[in-house]
Structure 1
Amino acid sequence: MRIGLDIMGGDYAPKATVLGAIAAFKILAPEHKLVLIGDKPAALSILQENDFSADNFDFIHTTEVIGMGEHPTKAIVQKPDSSISVGFNLLKEGNIDAFSSAGNTGAMLVGSMFSVKTIPGVMRPCMTAIVPKLKGGLGILLDVGANADCKPEVLLQFGVLGSLMAESIYNIDNPKVGLMNIGEEEEKGNITSLATYPLMKATDKFNFVGNVEGRDLFGDSADVFVCDGFTGNVILKLAESFYVVTLKKGMKDEFFDRFNYEAYGGSPILGVNAPVVVGHGISPPEAIKNMVLLCRNMVESKLVEKVKQAFQ
């Protein structure tokens, strides 16, 4: 297995990404190879400072970087030697088995759709986030930002994608899928949710448990929470703030500690033809390490192949 890591992506790159690669290497099996994509001399300097052999990695040198504020499509086209563009070319050609970056999220989405492309049958790829549960375990929230507006048929597919991820990556048996809404009753919600409910109720693709509300997010009502990317991103940013607030208040609580995004590494882009994971722009080494490990888990679980089978 060869896992590609964009070492130029993120606010603290390349130092945080290279240190994260070192931490990941110490956990990965010998047959797992990390491919560092970016400024090779800069990476070698950081490795030397930390007395870590460069022989532990493969390197693909690039000369350009896509900034966090750049237009995704223009940047992908105008910067063919950027670490993100080169990473996707490697993924497309099969030279790496997975690709991860804490860089420009839009560029990662565009790169996914233009290079490895969307799995046939999938209308819209989506991004996921992990939600900790009060009694232990976790749930999956999707979409969290890739699609601000969604048709009912797209939300139905998110249910399929989220259910497959819950089973394959987190070993949740027959995961319960809920539709995020403003009430539990079938007749509640906006036009989109009202049209989505009967589609989910009729499907045999996943275990639909009905509407769920925001207050259900940290409980056991569902394992997969489906919503449009606008709603999901608002929920995600609010949830991330819980951890920050507890730190500022001097509180120490195991549950709120699990809101720390560093523990989860990044958000997989589901619905494309290869494992792709996007990390938080402010990712420190710990988050980079876990982003790489999530890539490994996606490859080992054959999640992409399972999605392809589901949408045949």
Structure 2
Amino acid sequence: MGGDFAPEAAVKGAILAAQELQNEEQILLIGKEDVIHSLLKEYGYTGKNISVVNASQVIEMGEHPTKALTQKPDSSIAIGYGLLKAQKAVAFCSAGNTGAMLVGAMFSVKAIEGVLRPSIASFVPKLRGGFGVILDVGANADCKPEVLEQFGELGSIYAKYVLDIQNPKVGLMNLGEEEGKGTVNTQAAHQRLKANEIVNFIGNIEGRDLFNDKADVIVCDGYTGNIILKMAESLYDILSEKGIQDSFFDKFNYEAAGGSPILGINGNAVIGHGVSSPRAICNMVLQAQKMAASNISERFKKNYSA
């Protein structure tokens, strides 16, 4: 029920995604049952890959996240995380209230033991094809060196098992390539990543390295990452306004990935853009399916239990 074009976009997107899934895979549409059934009928869906779970309450986009989750336990976000926690769903996606999605992740399924701060990740198109992963992009504006080091680990595991990049190269976003450059935090994070045997750390990278093959995993605090992400989205918007079409810049469109995964929690969760279209919803669901198929959450747990 969340998102600027909900519930129509969510239902249309689920129908598109259902066409891509295996027969045994199910999409659970959580929301007002009568509304969803009416839309499924209107759009002519007769398949067996979509089920409906009733949620009588809706968290609006402008509501305070913590208050909304507390006061609306029968909302689609609260029920979605409940299903994820009870392992009755392998992934949960929403284009609804971003704050409520983050609060739900932290206080319902919670962070994996050993993870200092779960991160929101996003994807960076590469000039030679494929995508890299950048984290954090908004959940953690200020990060201590040990948190940045852990982002390198989380991103590396995600890149290997979900993006199929063997031995992913990890770079620390900085204002210069030299080891001594940057803030006190990035200098300390550089030393920690350099000594970390889990990641393939290649050193500092600069903004101009974002789209080349220097790094597959780009580590930064959420303040920096969010600015990078929004700037990339604006490039796509500018080119669209000027009528310029290019296959590489088409990958800057938020619809291509569909959403941003929350990494480091007990389960698979993806946050969609508030303006998500049916195509974006479809790609968000397929991304969540790939995360579940790769068993990424369990891989994180195994790394930190070790």
TM-score of the superposed pair, with normalisation by structure 1: 0.96
Deviates more, 1:88-97 or 1:276-285: 88-97
Which position in structure 1 is the counterpart of 2:296?
303
After TM superposition, give the deviation of residue 56 of structure 1 in Å: 3.9
Match of 1:174 among 167, 178, 181: 167
Which position in structure 1 is the counterpart of 2:151?
158
Aligned length: 305
Match of 2:285 among 285, 292, 297: 292
Letter in 1 for 2:222: G
Residue 228 (structure 2) pairs with residue 235 (structure 1): yes
Which position in structure 2 is the counterpart of 1:133?
126
| Residue ranges of structure 1 left out of the alignment (5+ in a row) | 1-7
Using the alignment, how far apart are the partners of 1:77 and 1:172 within structure 2? 40
Letter in 2 for 1:149: D
CA deviation profile, 1:26-60 (whole Å, cap 9, x unmatched):
11000101111001111111111111127542211
Using the alignment, how far apart are the partners of 1:126 and 1:307 within structure 2? 12
CA deviation profile, 1:112-169 (whole Å, cap 9, x unmatched):
1111110000000001111001121211110000001100000000000000010011
Once superposed, which parts of structure 1, at least 4 consecutive aligned residues long, lie more than 3 Å away? none
Residue 186 (structure 2) pairs with residue 193 (structure 1): yes
Q: Map of 1:206-217 to 2, 5 A cutoff?
A: 206-217=199-210
TM-score of the superposed pair, with normalisation by structure 2: 0.98
Residue 110 (structure 2) pairs with residue 97 (structure 1): no
Using the alignment, how far apart are the partners of 1:180 and 1:67 within structure 2? 35
Any conservation in 2 of the 1:47–1:54 contact (CA below 8 Å)? no
Which position in structure 1 is the counterpart of 2:63?
70
Which position in structure 2 is the counterpart of 1:38?
31
Residue 272 (structure 2) pairs with residue 279 (structure 1): yes
CA deviation profile, 1:187-244 (whole Å, cap 9, x unmatched):
1001110111100000001100000000100001100000000100000000011111
Letter in 1 for 2:97: N
Any conservation in 2 of the 1:265–1:291 contact (CA below 8 Å)? yes
Any conservation in 2 of the 1:44–1:54 contact (CA below 8 Å)? no
Letter in 2 for 1:31: E
Using the alignment, how far apart are the partners of 1:61 and 1:35 within structure 2? 10
Deviates more, 1:132-141 or 1:20-29: 132-141
Match of 2:4 among 7, 11, 14: 11
Which position in structure 1 is the counterpart of 2:142?
149
Which position in structure 2 is the counterpart of 1:85?
78
CA deviation profile, 1:74-132 (whole Å, cap 9, x unmatched):
11111111110111111111111110101111111110111111000000000111100
Which position in structure 1 is the counterpart of 2:18?
25
Using the alignment, how far apart are the partners of 2:50 and 2:245 within structure 1? 37
